[in-house]
Amino acid sequence: MKTKRLFAMLMVIVISMCLFVIPSSAADEAESAHTHIEVYFEDENLSEEFKAKATAYFLNGAAKGDGTATYGLTCTLFGHKLETGTTSTITHKARTTAPRCLKRYYDYSACTRCDYETSTLKSSSYIYCCS
């Protein structure tokens, strides 16, 4: 009788563990299938610092506006010194049906004196680039 109870409790524990393992492995699989984003610049005369800042801005998801920009004293007194350029991003495998990739055009501005950044979405469309 005791062995049946022990066996039943052991089976309950094993089944419970299996139920917790399956969702966590599915979450890992979803993360590994994360979309890939590429950033392109329309103007070749932009500085390398501007390009690096814009690339980090779009790749880190800051385009959603996280509000973490800090302003220096110079910008507070005299305003921002903005460098502006047109950028485009391609988000690969943005959806499951064709066309799968999402191309967006932005006007991106970054202050050269502080870490203020802003972007304005100009247009977006789905394109064929991934199978």
- Closest listed residue to residue 104, CA positions, set 48, 64, 47: 64
Rounded to two decimals, what is the model's pTM? 0.63
Long-range contacts formed by 104-111: CB under 8 A, 24+ apart: 106/58, 106/63, 108/54, 108/57, 108/58, 108/84, 109/82, 109/83, 109/84, 110/50, 110/53, 110/54, 110/57, 110/82, 110/83, 111/75, 111/80, 111/81, 111/82, 111/83
Q: Where are the domains of the chain?
A: 1-34, 35-127
- Closest listed residue to residue 59, CA positions, set 35, 94, 24: 35
**Per-residue confidence in pLDDT tens, the chain, 131 aa:** 677 776 676 666 766 655 554 443 333 333 334 568 899 988 888 889 889 999 999 888 765 555 556 677 888 888 889 999 999 999 988 888 888 899 999 999 998 888 888 999 999 999 998 76
Interatomic CA distance for residues 129 and 56, integer angstroms: 23
Work out the end-to-end distance of the chain between its first and last CA atoms, rounded to an integer number of angstroms: 59
